[in-house]
Amino acid sequence: MREQDVISRVALMHHYNDLADKSFLLVGDDDLLSIALALTGLPLRITVLDIDERLGEYIGKVSKEYKLEIEYRRYDVSNPLPKDLVGEFDVFSSEPLETVSGLKAFLSRGIACLKENGIGYVGLSTAEASRKKWMIVEKMLLQMNCMITDVIKDFSKYGTLYETVNYEMFTTRLEFPVGKNPGIPWYKSSLFRFEVMGKPNPLVKPDERLSIEYIDWEEDLTNPFLYKKQKEYKNKSKLKIIE
């Protein structure tokens, strides 16, 4: 995520009075929102759950250098939640994995850690999620006693190069020449803000394990290697509407 979009999320949280004196849980923090939040000096507590220990090491290094109080815990969302985190936070934020099982896991884990009437911020794209999947997310949130207050279209934008993988390689499947991107961030994420109406009701209970699919072979448009295997895997991940 671009730096200005990380700061914009912090500013929006402040606008809604979701920042000062609040306890934050971040499920995944590749965008380093935890650092931006901590630099304001306004939250009471910031806890990051992420499977990548390298990220935890970096957050720890920055926290030490700038005297920030960010707690990092290595955590895989397919595993049960630590009991001491359940029901302990005012605000949850995440850029979740956008398979149906991934969305269910990230949302359930975050919402399970919210107090009554807690607040959530979640990003959802159209590059990895169809309108049908958006509807699934909305149904999930309703089932978990959450009400969507805002959906801000294309709130966050991302660069198109990630490490050594060029995410624009998929244009080679087209039958006409495509030039190099001049710097336009085509990958965008819309921001959902929601409120828990009373007590949270996560679809996946805190002590449950679950299996997660990490790639949606049918809908994900961002991974160029999917096109090479599209025929083989097109039926691997069938989208089902939650009844």
pLDDT in tens, the chain (243 residues): 889 999 999 999 999 999 999 999 999 999 999 999 999 999 999 999 999 999 999 999 999 999 999 999 999 999 999 999 999 999 999 999 999 999 999 999 999 999 999 999 999 998 888 899 999 999 999 999 999 999 999 999 887 665 455 656 666 656 667 677 777 788 899 999 999 999 999 999 999 999 998 877 777 766 655 555 554 545 554 444 444
Please, what sign has the CA dihedral across residues 218, 221, 226, 231?
positive
Contact (Cβ atoms closer than 8 angstroms) between residue 1 and residue 26: no
CATH number listed for the domain at residues 3-233: 3.40.50.150
pLDDT attached to residue 243: 40
| Collapsed DSSP state (helix, strand, coil) of residue 238 | coil
By CB atoms closer than 10 A (0-12, 13-18, 19+), residue 75 is buried
CA proximity to 210, closest of 118, 77, 119: 77
pLDDT attached to residue 223: 61
pLDDT attached to residue 54: 94
Alpha-carbon distance of 52 to 46, in angstroms, equals 17
DSSP secondary structure letter of residue 40:
H
pLDDT attached to residue 220: 72
Chain length of the chain: 243
pLDDT attached to residue 172: 61
Q: Where in the chain are the domains?
A: 3-233
